[in-house]
A and B are shown apart, each in its own frame.
Chain A
Amino acid sequence: MLDKQLIVGVYDDGDNLLSAVKKLRKKGVEIFDCYTPYPVHHLDVEMGVKRSNLTVGAFLCGMMGFFSGLLLQFYMMTNHLHTFKSWPMIIGGKPQDYTMVPSMVPVTFELTILFTAFGIGILFFAKSKMIHGKIAEIIDPRQTDDLLFLAVEPEELSKISRSELDSVMNENGAIEIRERNMDGVEVPAKVEERVEKAEKAEEVELSQEEQTERLSLIKSVLGEASVEGKDDLKKISGVGPVYEEKLNSIGIYTFEQVSKLTPESIKAIEELTKYFPGRIEREDWIGQAKNLMG
């Protein structure tokens, strides 16, 4: 899957993705798959996914549990199956034959449910080819986080021209259209690379001069502020109490300062505070700070 050729539309809203899928299907285009961080209502129907017959599997598992429960109790408590090897267990003079069926109800019931639940669980994992430790086949690390992806195979281009495909995706709010493994187009960084990058950033220890150099850069870009005019930086989503302290320690106290961040100063902050690279941009602190000021 990781080396599969795909044309991928990137969306940030489920409704947009859904309407794009509808339009494409109307034009006869088959959708390879969609990858979404949450279940988009009705997407499976619009994609033309055949209703799974897992329900039948669940029923069969349930029946298996039901009969296992009955068999178990007839085997152990009665002699109808000729299973009393030495002596019957008579407890409180209660009967040892089919008349104890009412007593069998609870255990039979519980086993029916147990078999149904675990049967369908196992069937689901098998059908979806999921198992512990499997490496996920993802086309972008954000497909489980905040972006939705609509993937079409290049073979579908026989039914629709490339420019038309792009325009349908764009008209329905695609924020980006990517090509995957096609003509050497760059594939977004895999998780492993991001991990390496983050770890590298953590390893860098700054010398005294480098620290002062970066502090003065921050001061010159953002201007000075002090504890007196302090804003509650924790209001920026992504800043916690610990990180707020770190920001204060390098002279950042106000939303106004945050709103003035430039790429160089962001890099300096990341190096000084050992923050995850790229997260300040990703979480749009500048925009957030502007909102909080206004």
Chain B
Amino acid sequence: MFEAEIRTPLVEGNKTIADVSNDICRPIENKPTKMWWLGFSISFMFLMVMVMSLGWTVWEGIGTWGVNKTVMWGWDITNFVFWVGIGHAGTLISAILLLFRQKWRMSINRSAEAMTIFAVLCAAQFPLFHMGRVWLGYWPLPLPNAYGSLWVNFNSPLLWDVFAISTYLSVSLLFWYLGLIPDIATVRDRAVTKARKFWYGFFSMGWNGSARTWHRYEIVALILAGVSTPLVLSVHTIVSMDFATSVIPGWHTTIFPPYFVAGAIFSGFGMVLTLLLIVRKVMNLTEYITVGHLEAMAKVVMLTGSLVGVAYLTEFFIAAYSGVVYEQYAFLNRAFGKYWWAYWTMMSCNLIAPQVFWFKWARTTPWFLFVMSIIVNIGMWFERFVIIVTSLHRDYLTSSWAMYSATFTEVAIFLGTMGLFFTCFFLFSKFLPVVNMAEVKSIIKSRE
């Protein structure tokens, strides 16, 4: 087959098909390393912090949080939007890049999709526990009940969110699992212990790599990618409508849906970079997740960061141009009011910092990328904080003006969801192949 020499190979190290199985299955087939135990223990500790702080919230009530009558949404919704946004990169990589036939996605899609699922799980904690009586958490579902025609309100964006997020979680899970089946079968057929043979056999659903099954499998993958793409766009659109359909100055803008989607992909890629830069080193996958992959992701970060930046500036311009004093005040207050530090952190992390990716050195130096990915994560967290808190804390009535700061419990819950996220990720990296072996085996020879 013709091979264009101008392109670098997608997987380095002249791998054979057997090498791919051996390299990727190694963590599954051997005892976990010391690094794994260390990372897992720390994550698990933070997970316990989450359990305790959520337990305290339920026991004592929402009064343990710093939210008040004016700023009724604080860290909880900030963290919710933060985590949902992070999930979006996984779907972008696995679905949108599949539709665009971008083969470089193949060695990173598995871990990015896993990240999506774990991030959405983290996000779900916040609205669920902000309800206060978490044991009634099923009430947003349209279930028949004994109260006459008392149904959920389909005019409410918060209800749309329930549908969007739960659809997103379940469809992502299905897509991820479908991709895992051939690889689970590989582990099953290499198994030398009875337990491994049984469990991987159970979840492989009898996969045998028949060409007829592959034929259907590829059609299903394409259709799932086709529906996941509008799904991922709709999810953050609907999240943004939680704000945009209100009449709060600073929230009530039509730019929110595209701006939130770009921001979600931006923050998601930040997190993908953070995770993969660790994974490729710790799990010795530098030949599969190459500098080429990192560079491509850095380019996406720069593009989406700039999109978000344009949205920030547009918002400012429209506020000035609208002639509405409330709108103008909201934005001036953001930049120069009591929360100016949050605003300028956001601006410098999201708009200014990613511009370094115009330089190739910045896109191809792993340690620098790691620093940048952390900056992006911080910047996007602050974006949500700025949007939520600065818009709320100055109400129409000056008598209602208030300040908001997070309490220890809120901080603990947020750090705790980090624990949940990384605990899930460490378990995933031990028990499932972190790279899609079947897809990588099909591209080890090609240079596209």
Contacts and interface: CB of A to CB of B under 8 A. Distances in A.
Given A39-B442, A55-B219, A117-B171, A136 B208 contact: yes
A238 B22 contact: yes
Contact of A120 (B157, B223, B234, B238): B223
B220 A77 contact: no
A52 B215 contact: yes
B188 A76 contact: no
B431 interface: no
Output the residue of B22, B149, B152, B204 with the most chain A CB within 10 A.
B149
A28 B81 CA distance: 59
Contacts of B157: 106
A72 B203 CA distance: 34
User: Which DSSP category, helix, strand, loop or mixed, fits chain B's interface?
Assistant: helix
A34 B219 CA distance: 18
A138 interface: yes
A60 B191 CA distance: 40
B21 to A, nearest CB: 5
A interface, how many residues as a size bin? 35 or more
Which of A36, A38, A89, A133 has the most chain B CB within a 10 Å cutoff?
A: A38
A98 interface: no
A113 B154 contact: no
A136 B216 contact: no
B206 A106 contact: no
Interface stretch (A143-151, A158-166, A177-185, A211-219): A143-151
Contacts of A136: 185, 188-189, 201, 204, 206-208
B215 to A, nearest CB: 4
A134 B205 contact: yes
A39 B217 contact: yes
Contacts of A117: 170-171, 174-175, 224, 227-228
A118 B208 contact: no
B97 interface: no
Contacts of B178: 121, 124
B438 interface: yes
A40 to B, nearest CB: 7
A84 B149 contact: yes
A44 B215 contact: yes
B206 A116 contact: no
14 contacts: A35-B210, A37-B17, A37-B186, A39-B442, A40-B211, A58-B223, A106-B160, A113-B234, A117-B170, A118-B171, A136-B207, A141-B189, A143-B208, A240-B26
Given A110-B163, A127-B216, 16 more contacts: A34-B211, A37-B17, A39-B438, A41-B442, A89-B150, A91-B155, A94-B155, A106-B238, A109-B230, A130-B205, A131-B206, A132-B205, A191-B188, A191-B191, A195-B191, A198-B193
Interface of A: 12, 14-15, 33-41, 43-44, 47, 49, 52, 54-55, 58, 62, 72-73, 76-77, 83-89, 91-92, 94, 100, 103-104, 106-107, 109-111, 113-114, 116-118, 120-121, 124-125, 127-138, 141-147, 191, 194-195, 198-199, 237-238, 240-242, 276, 282-283
